[in-house]
Amino acid sequence: MDGLNVLGLIYVLVFLGLILATSFILRTRESRRLRDIPAFERLGRAIGLAVEAGSRLHISLGRGHLLTTQSAIGFVGLSILDRIARSTSISDRPPVSTSGEGSLGILSQDTQSDAAKYLGVESDPTRGRITGLTPYSYAAGTLSFIQEEDIGANLLIGSFGNEVALITDAAERKEGMTLGGTDNLTGQAVLFATAQEPLIGEETYAGGAYLGAGPMHIASLYAQDILRWVIIGMILIGAVLKLFGVL
């Protein structure tokens, strides 16, 4: 076992320990304060407006392959889909999801089916659609879907490249709210320019915590914050040591 592997395992175990410890500490506290992310506040309002207006919410899950690191953002998208499907129970038009990867499509149908069972309503498998299997065919399929359906708000949470601009443009034309976050750097730059509410970096992964997906989401957010400060500290120490010629 080489040193890098040991460090990696230690890092994962420390992260896990922090999540569990934070969730234990938070269990006894009544208020769990999260820093303000305006995009999620506006999303809450957009969900309410969409339910009142009888329009649909669209969650685009991207093309994250489940055997790569892109799966993480796909799972975050599924958590958000689950929360929204459950919170829009009073709407007569349940949310719909689109994805560009087979396994993600199946999981989105499963998530919607679970939410429908929880609410005691009939599930429709066509609410979780696969609109294309290559980046541009996925974007083309999703934009035609947005054009045809009465969409009140679009949430683009998944792995997207620059093709996401085609989707945000279609959403903009339909005058629906667009919130977008991705794990891809090019996709983030494009979303910053095209989405009404872009999410940068780790903000995308915080979606579950802000939408009330459970205490573990909040605990993992705190753990991320702690580790981010540790990393910042290490970078600064490294820079100082480099400056003085120690490293």
**Residue 246 contacts by C-beta under 8 Å, 6 or more apart in sequence?**
none
* Candidate list 136, 229, 242, 247; residue touching another protein; CB under 8 A: 136
CA distance 227 to 224: 5
Residue matched to tokens 């685009």: 60
Cα of 66 vs its chain's centroid, Å: 15
CA distance 110 to 82: 10
| Stretch 49-88 residues interacting with another protein (CB under 8 A) | 65-67, 69, 72-73, 75-76, 78-79, 82
Residue pair 151/55 in contact (Cβ under 8 Å)? The answer is: yes
* Candidate list 26, 37, 93, 214; residue touching another protein; CB under 8 A: 214
| Stretch 102-121 residues interacting with another protein (CB under 8 A) | 102-103, 105-107, 110-111, 113-114, 117-118
Closer to another protein by Cβ: residue 51 or 85: 85
Q: Calculate ∠ Cα 155-158-161, nearest 5°.
A: 105
- Total residues binding another protein (CB under 8 A): 82
The encoded tokens of residue 42 equal 């506006």
| Stretch 9-48 residues interacting with another protein (CB under 8 A) | 9, 11-12, 15-16, 19-20
Q: Does 123 bind another protein (CB under 8 A)?
A: no
Minimum gap (Å) between residue 212 Cβ and another protein? 14
Closer to another protein by Cβ: residue 51 or 204: 204
Closer to another protein by Cβ: residue 52 or 239: 239
**Residue 92 contacts by C-beta under 8 Å, 6 or more apart in sequence?**
54
* Candidate list 45, 54, 202, 242; residue touching another protein; CB under 8 A: 202
